Amino acid sequence: MRGGLVVGVGARTGVSVGELEVAVGAALGEIGVGRGEVGVLATIGRRARERGVREFAAGWGWVLCSVGEGELGAQDVPNRSATVAAAVGVPSVAEAAALAVTGAGGRLILPKRVLGGVVVAVACRSGASGG
């Protein structure tokens, strides 16, 4: 894996590579992190199967990790959303996906940001520095 950080994303169906590039780039810029410090893009299974998401992850050299709804719902996140829960069945996608992939002791270094309709969160593994 290139970097130890995990970017979690949530988006509407059909999100484009360009929309992801703008949103994720802005989020990483906010915390002063380059794309080489990230190793994984994490999202809900149905988004991970989409062409735009797959192409974005590959283009940035990141592993794409599909996180199941049960695992997303089990994460303790700071920003739960009833709207997201009604739409996809879990109260968080971006934050929950990032935390699920970092594992026990992982922490958010950028809570969710909504940028152009794409929700982005960044997490690091226990013991890793970030931000």
Mean pLDDT by 10 residues, the chain (131 residues): 86 96 98 96 96 98 96 93 90 96 94 95 78 50
Among residues 33, 31, 32, 57, the alpha carbon closest in space to that of 43 is found at: 57
Give the pLDDT score at 127. Answer: 63
Q: What 3-state class would DSSP assign to 28?
A: helix
Give the pLDDT score at 130. Answer: 54
CB distance 112 to 119 below 8 Å: yes
Task: Reply yes or no on domain 6-124 having CATH 3.30.230.10.
Answer: no
Angle between helices 17-30 and 51-59 (to 10 degrees): 50
Domain boundaries, the chain: 6-124
Query: How many residues does the structure list for the chain?
Result: 131
Give the pLDDT score at 3. Answer: 78
Q: What does pTM read for this prediction?
A: 0.93
- The dihedral of CA 37, 49, 66, 111: what is its sign? positive
